[in-house]
Structure 1
Amino acid sequence: MNVLLRIIINAAALWVAAWLLPGITIGPRDAVEPAWNTAAEIVTYLFVGLVFGVVNVLLRWILHLLAMPITCLTLGLFALVVNAGLLMLTSAIANLFPVDFHVNAFFWDAILGSIIISIVSAILNRALVRR
């Protein structure tokens, strides 16, 4: 149940980032019209939330550990670059499936998207997940 809740939290954070940033787009690949149905939209966000969660679980701590010296030198700012790279990797992996998840530019869209996703995830985790 906790895993499902975290997938939903990731999907909600991705929705907020896609809503706020025009450089992040998400949707099913077979949608012909811009107004696709709600069920396909929800399934798409949940799938991308699952991919984002798997990428974070498998790679996030390894990359943060390897980048720790650079992160210390930049007083933590390099962690934003690592998180943006994970968001770009999620975009690349999700596009292997019938889902269109694009992050247009690394510098602004991925970095701002990772900040938004981190903030929304932290708020929702604090409100919904019991320790």
Structure 2
Amino acid sequence: MRKFILRWISMAISLIVIAKLFDNIYIAGFSTALWAAAIFGIANTIIKPILVVLTLPVNILTLGLFTFVINGMILKLSAGIVAGFNVGGLFGAIIASVILSIVNILITGLLGVSDD
């Protein structure tokens, strides 16, 4: 349970960092970031695998690079669900989702959350 909470908090912090780095992303506060992290995690768990399977031919043709587009779509979808969290433009969401992954890896490393 501790690892789950630390991962959730690290994703919320990562979203806040991304909002500070990108002009097209806005988060109202830390509680909004917690909600956005929860919705983003749920969408990554449920919707992303379905999208990956549905777009498998395109993903194969692009050698897996279309996965970045799917990540951007999931980020934009999460922003559409959570009030106080806005992402402007799909291209910006794609770039932000890549940077979000990198920042989240760094923060989870600093918090000492390991993959068992």
Which residue, 29, 51, 56 being the options, matches 2:44? Answer: 56
Counterpart of 1:113 in structure 2 is: 96
Percent of counterpart pairs with the same letter? Answer: 36
Counterpart of 1:7 in structure 2 is: 8
Matched, 1:77 2:65: yes
TM-score where L is the length of structure 1: 0.78
Please, which runs of 5 or more residues in structure 1 have no aligned partner?
A: 28-40
Output the CA distance in 2 between the equivalents of 1:5 and 1:74.
34
Alpha carbons of structure 1 residues 4 and 61: separation in structure 2 relative to 1, 3 Å: same
Counterpart of 1:25 in structure 2 is: 26
Deviation of 1:18 (Å): 0.5
Aligned residue type for 1:114:
S
TM-score where L is the length of structure 2: 0.87
Deviations 1:14-64 (A, max 9, x none): 11210110000111xxxxxxxxxxxxx222221211111111111122222
What is the alpha-carbon root mean square deviation over aligned residues? 1.5
Aligned residue type for 1:21:
F
Structure 1's consecutive aligned runs of 4 or more residues displaced over 6 angstroms after TM superposition are none
Instruction: Specify which structure has the higher proportion of helix.
Output: 2
Question: Which stretch of the first structure deviates more once superposed, 43-52 or 117-126?
Answer: 117-126
Counterpart of 1:47 in structure 2 is: 35
- Structure of larger gyration radius: 1
Output the CA distance in 2 between the equivalents of 1:69 and 1:125.
33
Deviation of 1:126 (Å): 4.3
Given that residues 16 and 116 in structure 1 are in contact (C-alpha distance below 8 angstroms), is that contact kept between their aligned partners in structure 2?
no
